[in-house]
A = this chain, B = another copy of it.
Amino acid sequence: MADVAALVESARQGAPRAVARLISLVEGASPQLREAMAAIAPHCGNAYVVGLTGSPGVGKSTTTSALVSAYRAQGKRVGVLAVDPSSPFSGGALLGDRVRMGEHASDPGVYIRSMATRGHLGGLAWAAPQAIRVLDAAGCEVILVETVGVGQSEVEIAAQADTSVVLLAPGMGDGIQAAKAGILEIGDVYVVNKADRDGADATVRELNHMLGLGEARQPGDWRPPVVKTVAARAEGVEEMIAALDKHRGWMDERGVLAERRAARAAKEIETIAVTALRRRMGELRGGKRLDALAARVAGGTLDPYTAADELVEGVTEGG
């Protein structure tokens, strides 16, 4: 058994292998996690967490890479967490195509990590915040969380960042697709990438129009800006970072940053608690209680609500 305290200390000193091992504890839902998270807790809360989401093909990975370069040029330590199943960063073992991030691979000021938690009891909602916590404690000043903006869980993860960036590209279905995917509600900053393509200005106009359709804003409310980029040529990245800085400043000023972080912590706590309760449910009567209820529901002799009541009773009353 590894010495968790030593591992955490080593990660805090910036040792990449220690950081990697801690995130592996998260992915594996290791029993040592509890100890690791307790040791990490006092060192969290310093990183600025940026979520990047968008459909496959909008250039999330390229944009992430360009942002990393820009933040590195500012001398900042950067963490990248890819929880996008369609990303070349995640599933990297399968593809071996982390090429585009290759320029950062040897930079000791950058941690790049993909999450592989499919099938895990708590899923991404459970693992992602804890991985962010590890990167935070390891001294990352900026953490970029890349998720695909299609799935419910993935959009929820992006929405829990300090600042959520929604990426679109011209001609991909544009604003209407974004509205359908529910991402018009979560963006603090919108980026129209591949802005050298036809239709970029139309997409920007459409987005601005749709963003203006919401309820009337109070003076001082945040109005999500729409930034044009060509991430592959690093064009517009400065404007994007300026928009992020502006949002961060606005959040600081209005106390929104603290609120968001508390909301993220609440979600994290709740997910850990729910996962523990689910485990208890699965273990009731040596794992047979749920099976017995399921057989009755599948057979039509019991409805799922009554079955759920029995399960809840079993967990809360030790029955």
User: What residues make up the interface of A, taking CB atoms closer than 8 Å to B?
Assistant: 33-34, 37-38, 40-45, 55-56, 85-86, 90-91, 94-95, 118, 123-124, 129-130, 133, 148, 150-155, 176-177, 179-182, 258, 261-266, 268-270, 272-274, 276-278, 281-282, 290-291, 293-295, 297-309, 311-312, 315-317
Contact = CB atoms under 8 A, between A and B. Distances in A.
A307 B151 contact: no
A99 to B, nearest CB: 15
Given A94-B179, A154-B151, A180-B95, A303 B40 contact: yes
Contact of A300 (B42, B270, B301): B42
Nearest to A282: B270
Nearest to A125: B152
Q: What 9 A-B pairs are tightest by C-beta distance, nearest first?
A: A151-B151, A266-B294, A272-B308, A265-B297, A41-B303, A273-B308, A91-B180, A150-B150, A265-B294
B45 A298 contact: yes
Contact of A150 (B148, B278, B281): B148
A43 B309 CA distance: 21
Contacts of A317: 316
B306 A293 contact: no
Which of A34, A133, A263, A282 has the most CB atoms of chain B within a 10 A radius of its CB?
Answer: A34
Given A85-B180, A150-B148, A150-B151, A312 B94 contact: no
Contacts of A293: 265-266, 269
Contacts of A130: 304
Contacts of A124: 152
B290 A86 contact: no
Q: What is the copy number of this chain in the assembly?
A: 2
A275 B153 CA distance: 16
A274 B265 CA distance: 19
User: Which secondary structure dominates where chain A touches chain B?
Assistant: helix
Nearest to A133: B304
B265 A304 contact: yes
Contacts of A276: 308-309, 312
Given A291-B262, A294-B262, A311 B154 contact: no
Given A37-B305, A85-B182, A300 B152 contact: no
A302 B268 CA distance: 13
A187 to B, nearest CB: 15
A34 to B, nearest CB: 5
Contact of A308 (B133, B262, B269): B269
Contacts of A95: 176, 180
Which of A85, A268, A273, A308 has the most CB atoms of chain B within a 10 A radius of its CB?
Answer: A273
Nearest to A299: B45
A41 B300 contact: yes
A229 B148 CA distance: 28
Nearest to A314: B273
A274 B309 CA distance: 10
A173 to B, nearest CB: 8
Contacts of A153: 151-153
Contacts of A40: 303
